[in-house]
Amino acid sequence: MTVATHTARGTAVYDELVRAGITHLVWLPDSETHFLHQVLVDRTEIEILQVCREGEAFALCAGLHLGGRRPALLIENQGMFDSGNVLKWAVNVGIPILMLVGYLHFASRRDTAGGRFIDGARDYTESFLDAFGVEHRLLDTDDMTPVGAMCAAAAANQRPAAVLVASADHYHPGT
């Protein structure tokens, strides 16, 4: 994967967020979405707020929403698991947060039932979101449709919606 490809994919995601009207991106850097780092540093259309824990990201997005802004958060799935209580609160209160979730281990093989395994352990990312009733779509190609669609779903349903972002290192350019 080249730096140019990383930059192009990061720019495409960022541009889609701008088109969707996102005003703030609450971000905890992670390994799966590192391809966004440079564009987040270089561009200014969206205000970037870094946090130390994923639960803080949900709370900050809720406050921004209540203040009339249109926030999104960018976290990794492993940290999302740790934030289940805050996610439950956001769902129950009806906060329309676009969640961009770095999908660590997405490239792992599937079992016959369709679940993902990581070194013998099942990955529960999609089941976790399903348990909270959070609509989600996968972003693993150059097609940015899931970003705009889930941003619209969050706003229309007044609840969180997620885009599962596969690492730019594991996606296939041009697909």
Domains (range + CATH), the chain: 3-165 (3.40.50.970)
Residues 116-151 pLDDT 10s: 555 545 678 999 999 999 999 998 877 778 999 999
Stated pTM of the model: 0.85
**Edge-to-edge strand ranges of the sheet holding 71-76:** 47-50, 24-27, 71-76, 98-102, 161-165, 135-139
Q: CB pairs under 8 A, 24+ apart, for 8-11?
A: 9/35, 9/142, 9/168, 9/171, 10/35, 10/36, 10/37, 10/38, 10/39, 10/40, 10/168, 11/39
Angle between helices 145-157 and 3-19 (to 10 degrees): 30
- 13-24 mean pLDDT: 95
Which comes out higher in pLDDT, residue 146 or 5? 146
Residues 42-73 pLDDT 10s: 999 999 999 999 989 999 999 999 999 999 99
